[in-house]
Amino acid sequence: MPVPLTALFAAAIYQVRASSVDPVGSERVLGLLTRAAAGSVVVFELDDERLLVNGVPVGGDAPGALLMRTAMIEHDTSRIQLPAGLGPRQWGDVAEIMASAPGLFPSADHVRDALTSSVPGALLVAGRRPAMSDALRAALLDIPGSVPRRDAVPAAVTREADRAEFSTRLDPLLHAGAAAVEARDWPRVARVVLDLQQLDASSDDATRTIISRERRRVAPPHVVDSLVRELPRPPVPPEILAAIHALGNEGATALVEALDGAPGRAERRAYIDALVAAPHATDALVTALGSHRPDLVAGAAEVAGLRRMERAVPALTGLLRHAEASVRTAAYRALEEIATPDAKAGLARRS
């Protein structure tokens, strides 16, 4: 199925490059891509700018073919072999690498390192960096039904000098982050996350898209979880909590998940305190209030009360009728803490 694979992988790259990514659409594309691969080895190859998928030539006018060729040429890559059995997350990692701006990786060796760290068993063969045709240079995507985006590669990194300067600032952080993760040096990982946040703060909107993507590669979910698990182990370096908060909703979601599985009071208290102080925890907490796990709901209710979360009032009011007494009590106390007219009305209805 070379054409569907090409179109779907190109669509995944487009989702990453787009300025506003639709999470649902992206998840659907990656799911379809996983099914199209059918658990088999997948090989993308360039032969004189002709694209082959699993050895089968793909016509230049096939959906996604031009974008795939462009991405491979920009990353000086002539062949990518992906192992059998990739899941949606791994396909997403590969798409993020191939969607990165030209020049972000100094060489094909760096692309290979990024690929194999995300997808063990993957192979990449460097190309000869042929001169890019005008058509390839002009086109960033050719997915039917989409609007071509000439700004999909941010303006801040389109000029050679700007790319070099940006890479000079970003590359050392990415290498430091990878080394810290490998060494399980969580305070050092946290410092890299904070350095990336500082770089983000001094960048324009287009460049922030790249930094955000690279930060997710430095701190994927399992790394964020490891940072969170350090919180109940005093003394906690302050940069760890700061990094968790800097990760926004990803950090808050990891805190909520840790709260759900907290083995004891000390751990539970550490996660609750971190959630109370988290600047971007509202969405994760509102979601947790709808969980079917009573301990998690009670913990989320306690945090909502301490944060005086007005958005949580409808959910907390509904929890006053929960089957578990611990949840009812936590919801009642939270509404007392929030103390808005709506919260008081909810308490009055319960009485």
Residues 179 and 190 in one domain: yes
Count of structural domains within the chain:
3
Amino acid at 105: F
Residues 271 and 144 in one domain: no
Residue at a domain's end among 230, 248, 277: 277
Residues 105 and 13 in one domain: yes
* Number of CB atoms found within 10 A of residue 201's CB: 9
Residues 296 and 273 in one domain: no
Instruction: Round to whole Å and give the CA distance between 93 and 160.
Output: 25
- CATH assignment of the domain containing 303: 1.25.10.10
Amino acid at 181: V
Amino acid at 41: V
Instruction: Round to whole Å and give the CA distance between 205 and 197.
Output: 13
Residues 130 and 164 in one domain: no
Residues 133 and 266 in one domain: no
pLDDT (0 to 100) of residue 163 = 58
Q: Pick from 210, 168, 213, 173: which is nearest to 194 by CA?
A: 173
Residues 67 and 207 in one domain: no
Domain that holds residue 230: 154-277
Residues 213 and 160 in one domain: yes
Residues 137 and 175 in one domain: no
Residues 143 and 19 in one domain: yes
Q: Is the peptide bond before 235 cis (omega within 30 degrees of 0)?
A: yes
Beta partners for 291? none
Residue at a domain's end among 261, 277, 293: 277
Residues 93 and 46 in one domain: yes
Beta partners for 50? 47
Residue at a domain's end among 277, 294, 309: 277
What's the DSSP call for residue 320?
A: T
Per residue of the chain (351 residues), what is the pLDDT tens digit?
A: 667 888 999 888 888 776 445 666 778 889 999 999 998 999 999 987 789 999 999 988 888 889 899 889 888 899 999 999 999 888 988 998 888 776 667 778 888 888 887 888 999 998 865 444 444 434 433 434 334 444 444 443 444 555 567 778 888 898 899 899 999 999 999 999 999 999 888 877 667 777 887 888 889 889 999 999 999 998 999 999 999 999 999 999 999 999 998 889 999 999 999 999 999 999 999 999 999 999 999 999 999 999 999 999 999 999 999 999 999 999 999 999 999 999 999 999 876
pLDDT (0 to 100) of residue 189 = 96
Instruction: Round to whole Å and give the CA distance between 181 and 72.
Output: 28
Residues 66 and 53 in one domain: yes
Query: How many residues belong to the chain?
Result: 351
Task: Give the tens place of pLDDT for each residue, 40-89.
Answer: 999 999 987 789 999 999 988 888 889 899 889 888 899 999 999 999 88
pLDDT (0 to 100) of residue 156 = 39
